Amino acid sequence: MCIIFHKEKGVQLDKETLEDMAFLNPDGFGITWLDTGTTNWTREDHVAVKWGLSKRPFVLHMRYATVGKKNLANCHPFEAGQHGKLYMNGTIKGFANEDKTDTEQLAMVIANIDDPTELLESFEARFCLVDEDCNVTRYGDWIEHKGYWTSKEVDTWFGHGGSGIQTHSPERHLVAVYGTLKSGFRNDYHLDGATFVDWGFTQERHRLVISGLPFLIEGTDDFERGENVEVEIYSVLSETLARLDRLEGHPHFYKRKKIPIRSHGSKTTGRILMYCWVYFVDESYDSQTGQYHIEFHDDQGVHMIDMDQDIAPFHPDDEANAHDDGDDFINATSYGSH
């Protein structure tokens, strides 16, 4: 799953190593020459090997595609605003789509962050940023060699009987929260240790039922009521996700489901699509009583909670009029839920 080489001037890499790495990571190659700042891309492995044999200083990425199309446009690096060019070795769940890689999406996010260190170090992937002065900053567990660094241990992959580098960082997940789990509200301590990624709103419209604790119900109802609900997006460890599951009673009360979230972004990057875990409830609506019947399950069976309907009507112009400061988002923070 990809490899990055960061090499100093005058160091000679082994040809067989480069050929083996290009064979195992054949889906595209990108290099930034640290003596000139020039970046080149290719889909040809023999070109990448030739680059790697140069004694010039460089950062070289060899791609093994796990997300995003296999084409030149998805070859690393990607522009990350003031931070320069971003290279990544690894996969970040929820950041990619059919066309774009998770690295490009992440580069668009960190372009709007003054210091991306905390966010980058929260993932199990390895990263490399090359700024406009060709200064290189590496993040994650890199392997140091004599005069160069690799994002993985190359000796474990070829001719030595190994099965690939093992990751030592816990798995992380993207979670989108609304209500009192948001920063500054009474349940935000459940997200201690989580890394804030961005603000955003649900890509599809959902019903936020406001009656005491807000309940998020998937989709619109028969009257087409529903909102693009505002959320905060966090990267969390598996243990934090399990803690949230206990808080929400997943899967017996709230049910956790992965859905598309459109990040706040900026006027420069636009909004970025991520796939995040969100907590929903099951429901049925009684049009005669005007109540939602919220269903939950436990060891004693199936139970129903009757809640008065309190859904703000959807206005078709809301999404079109939304702008980058987020003022037109549907804000659930005052309602006392997630």
Q: Supply the pLDDT for residue 235.
A: 87
pLDDT cut 70: percent of the chain above it: 73
- 270 pLDDT band, cuts 50/70/90, is low
pLDDT at 302 over 70: no
CATH class of 3-156: alpha beta
pLDDT at 316 over 60: no
Look up the pTM and report it: 0.55
Q: Supply the pLDDT for residue 125.
A: 92
For the ranges 80-89, 126-135, 201-210, the lowest mean pLDDT is seen at: 201-210
For the chain, give the secondary structure using H, E and C: CCEEEEECCCCCCCHHHHHHHHHHCCCCEEEEECCCCCEEEECCHHHHHHHHCCCCCEEEEECCCCCCCCCHHHCCCEECHHHCEEEEECCCCCCCCCCCCHHHHHHHHHCCCCCCHHHHHCCCCEEEEECCCCCEEEECCCEECCCEEECCCHHHCCCCCCCCCCCCCCCEEEEEECHHHCCCCCCHHHHCCCEEEEEEEECCCEEEEEECEEEEECCCCCCCCCECEEEEEEEEEHHHHHHHHHHHCCCCCCEEEEEEEEECCECCCECCEEEEEEEEEEEEEECCCCEEEEEEEECCEEEEEEEECCCCCCCCHHHHHCCCCCCCCECCHHHCCC
User: Regarding predicted confidence, which is higher, 334 or 89?
Assistant: 89
pLDDT at 72 over 60: yes
Q: Supply the pLDDT for residue 135.
A: 97
Most confident of 8-12, 93-97, 290-294: 8-12
Average pLDDT taken over every residue of the chain? 78
Q: Supply the pLDDT for residue 315.
A: 33
Q: Supply the pLDDT for residue 291.
A: 55
pLDDT at 271 over 60: yes
Question: Right CATH number for 172-335 from 3.40.50.12170, 3.40.50.300, 3.40.720.10, 3.10.490.10?
Answer: 3.10.490.10
Q: Where in the chain is the domain with CATH 3.10.490.10?
A: 172-335
Residues labelled as active-site residues: 248
Q: Supply the pLDDT for residue 189.
A: 92
Per-residue pLDDT reduced to its tens digit, 104-133: 989 999 999 999 999 999 988 999 999 999
Q: Supply the pLDDT for residue 300.
A: 52
- 168 pLDDT band, cuts 50/70/90, is very low
Q: Where in the chain is the domain with CATH 3.60.20.10?
A: 3-156
Q: Supply the pLDDT for residue 23.
A: 79
Q: Supply the pLDDT for residue 319.
A: 36
